[in-house]
Chains A and B, each alone.
Chain A
Amino acid sequence: MADIAFLLVIFFMVTTAYSLDRTPMELPHTREQQQTAKGAAIISITEDGTFRFSPGEADTAVVNGLPELAEAIRGVTGGNRLHPFVIKADRRVKYKIIDDVLEQLRLAGAENVALLSRGEGQP
């Protein structure tokens, strides 16, 4: 019994992807949903336009403005261009901010980008 229980513990430990960014926000709703890559760098954008960034291992930290975010993105793509990025942005944010971030990702040569969303019917 305990053996089976521990096996399950290991299973859930391995499959649970910890969210590195716990900033509360309203994600956009989409019907299409795919699992994002594990260990992806996270760019979090709240409604007031605050950027938070995590290269994939540590928790997200606040970044001062776009130039600093661009620097952080280049720091990740410099090592590996195929490193996945996840944009976690509030649904009410103006598209201009997303556009600026996408532009920085493009300039840094990032190729693998996902937009975090909430599935229909989910809380």
Chain B
Amino acid sequence: MKIVRRTLPAEIPTSSMADIAFLLIIFFLVASFYSVTRGIQFSLPKHDEAALTAEPEAAVLIEIESTGALLVDNKPMQLADIRSYIGPKLRQNPTKSVILQTSLEAPYQAMTDVFDELRQVGVQHLVIPTNSELQTYGLRQLR
């Protein structure tokens, strides 16, 4: 009896490869759209004693009260007016320091709103003292 040898084709079937690849593309496209990895960056200085103890005239002091109201250099101000207040000061001195002090009872959004606004204006030297730093340097704390 004659044995019939079947010759298998020596090829990897690749017709479905493109389909799988496209499926993966769609997956990563969608995944990259959904991942939230953006925000506002700031660096915590090692010692900002110099900025904290700077002359009051040298730095702009922004205080956020527990209600979210703003006090800029002890004057009540709206968030939208910060730009026109700080803008001219920054043109005179681009490295002008701004101290941002937030009441512990204020919502986080109130702080990020002001932070965002300051970044838009182009403040480079932004100091965000923590409450215990204020205690250490004997500065006024916001309730």
A residues touching B (Cβ–Cβ < 8 Å)?
1-2, 5-6, 8-9, 12-13, 15-19, 27-36, 38, 86, 89-99, 102-103, 105-106, 109-119
Contacts and interface: CB of A to CB of B under 8 A. Distances in A.
B10 to A, nearest CB: 19
B42 A19 contact: no
Interface of B: 14, 17-18, 21-22, 24-25, 28-29, 31-32, 34-46, 64, 102-113, 115-116, 119-120, 128, 130-133
A8 B42 contact: no
Nearest to B104: A96
A102 B28 CA distance: 34
Contacts of A34: 38-41
B106 A94 contact: yes
B28 A9 contact: yes
A123 to B, nearest CB: 10
A30 to B, nearest CB: 4
* Residue of B24, B40, B108, B111 most packed against chain A (CB within 10 A): B108
Contacts of A96: 104-105, 131
A34 B21 CA distance: 31
Contacts of B38: 33-36, 116-117, 119
A24 to B, nearest CB: 11
B38 to A, nearest CB: 4
A116 B14 contact: no
Contact of A109 (B46, B106, B108, B109): B46
Contacts of A12: 24-25, 28-29, 31-32
A95 B9 CA distance: 69
A30 B35 contact: no
B42 A5 contact: no
B103 A95 contact: yes
Contact of A99 (B31, B102, B115): B102
Contact of B102 (A27, A92, A95): A95
Contact of B25 (A5, A29, A97): A5
B111 A95 contact: yes
B30 to A, nearest CB: 10
Given A91-B108, A113-B43, A17 B37 contact: yes
B115 to A, nearest CB: 7
Given A31-B120, A111-B45, 9 more contacts: A13-B28, A28-B108, A36-B38, A91-B108, A94-B108, A97-B108, A106-B130, A111-B46, A113-B41
